[in-house]
Amino acid sequence: MSNNKTTAEAENETKVPLLDYSSKSIVGEEANEDQSLARRTWIESKKLWRIVGPAIFSRIASYSMFVISQAFAGHLGDLELAGLSIASSVICGFDFGLLLGMASALETLCGQAFGAKKYYMLGVYLQRSWIVLLLCGVFTLPLYIFATPVLKLLGQPDDVAELSGTVALAFIPLHFSFTLQFPLQRFLQSQLKNNVIAWVNLGAFCIHVVLSWLFVYKLHFGLMGACVILNLSWWLIVIGLLAYVFCGGCPQTWSGFSFEAFSGLWEFLKLSASSGVMLCLENWYYRILIVMTGNLQNAEIAVDALSICMNVNGWEMMIPLGFFAGTGVRVANELGAGNGKGAKFATIVAVTQSIVIGLFFWLLLIFFHSEIAYVFTTSPPVLEAVHQLSILLAFTVLLNSVQPILSGVAVGSGWQSYVAYINLGCYYLIGVPMGSVMGWVFHFGVMGIWAGMIFGGTAIQTAILAIITARCDWEKEAEKANNRVDKWSKPSHT
């Protein structure tokens, strides 16, 4: 390894001007309390959407790869749709949530370090995250290898479990792409290089559409063809982002591999684990919904219908997840710069704008709920089942316009361990039991399971996060952020 810098060199590097997040070179002007509320909101919105816009676009592009693969599978048959849906939503989804959550530690550390102008540390943090996630990827590999018996144990029908297990084995390369891609995205995102992520995702998405059509429809490779192309498309994203970073796209924050990445790993692992638990508990929640649905009568139709709704929800969810990313970066940057009031105002602006967008999509689903399923299937039973679930889909979208943004505030502030306990209590001690009671005891089926989990878990968790955020002492959080940056910049951690 090369470019192993001393602490003195690292401290000197932090003095090199890069792009001050609040400078005119980025947003054109800086807000202050003497300006009108409208003016301050406009300035903050420009800062926020510099991150949110590309983040939404790149998330929609990458998520659409899964949706398109499932759409191709759905037109091959109901069993193929159920097999790919279970493999991607349950097996990949569980793994995706864990690794994505662990990578979000970089949103706290890189975001606050960038705000404090400790630029050199971003590259070290990226390498530590790669090490931690690759090790985690090795330990979670058996989930893919033994997917069939795991799914049968969870009560899935034998034919669906067998096909899903085959698909899961084909997704092993996809699994390892997560371990590299997620840290890269957060590394670039924290220094406002979201446009790069967006363009790379767009290129991979276009290739994915063309190759999926070619391999599934023209060359008749069927379901396995769809899986191979999904693997390839996600690895193209990894290769594109690596090429940008390694070829000089981040001259101040990436100067090569360093042995410093191997020190302080235990502390980094603990923060990554807290982040992973916090976000994977959220991500796994709706995966559990699909597993529970698989235990109902006529499970294949129920799983297909719910998977379609989850795909639509996931597609729209990319917008609040874009706000999640933008809010996390804005809050972390402002806290790292010691500006607690700026972090508070960024939170208010992000939540307000996301709610407005959520209301728009809520109305859209209310009025056009009968048409959404035709993208995925022409099966009359599945279409009818989706029609019945559409009202729950609309309210899920509305709740999701608030909850991810509040989670973004938690990540930007470094509250992951506290929120993990909240998620555990709300989702798994309240939401899952309530969904089970509504589904089986009161015989409401999939509608009861979903309604119980929404109003028993998600709504309560959102309310608690809203109260915590409203009562936050932002100046104290800014002081904590500065202490955290100083701690991680010391020789014992670098």
Q: What pLDDT is stored for residue 261 in this prediction? A: 79
Give yes or no for a contact between 453 and 310, defined as CB atoms under 8 angstroms apart: no
The arithmetic mean of pLDDT across residues 144-168, rounded, is 85
Confidence check: pLDDT of 397 > 60:
yes
Query: Over 100-143, what HEC string results?
Result: HHHHCHHHHHHHHHHHCCCCHHHHHHHHHHHHHHHHHHHHHHHH
Which one has a higher pLDDT value, 255 or 42? Answer: 42
What are the E-state strand segments in 338-412?
Answer: none
Q: What pLDDT is stored for residue 96 in this prediction? A: 78
Q: What pLDDT is stored for residue 358 in this prediction? A: 92
> Out of 119-123, 155-159, 271-275, 280-284, which region has the weakest mean confidence (pLDDT)?
280-284
If one counts every other C-beta atom within 10 angstroms of the C-beta of residue 401, the result is 25
Which one has a higher pLDDT value, 24 or 467? Answer: 467
The arithmetic mean of pLDDT across residues 352-380, rounded, is 84
Q: What pLDDT is stored for residue 481 in this prediction? A: 81
Confidence check: pLDDT of 389 > 90:
no
Confidence of residue 22 (pLDDT cuts 50, 70, 90): very low
Q: What pLDDT is stored for residue 20 in this prediction? A: 40
Q: Is pTM beyond 0.85 here?
A: no
Which one has a higher pLDDT value, 155 or 17? Answer: 155
Amino acid at 186: R
Q: 329 is written with which tokens?
A: 């970066």
Q: 308 is written with which tokens?
A: 């379609």
Which one has a higher pLDDT value, 353 or 2? Answer: 353
Give the tens place of pLDDT for each residue, 177-235.
999 999 999 999 888 888 999 999 999 999 999 999 898 888 878 888 888 999 999 99
Smallest CA-to-CA distance from 411 within 284, 314, 282 is with 282
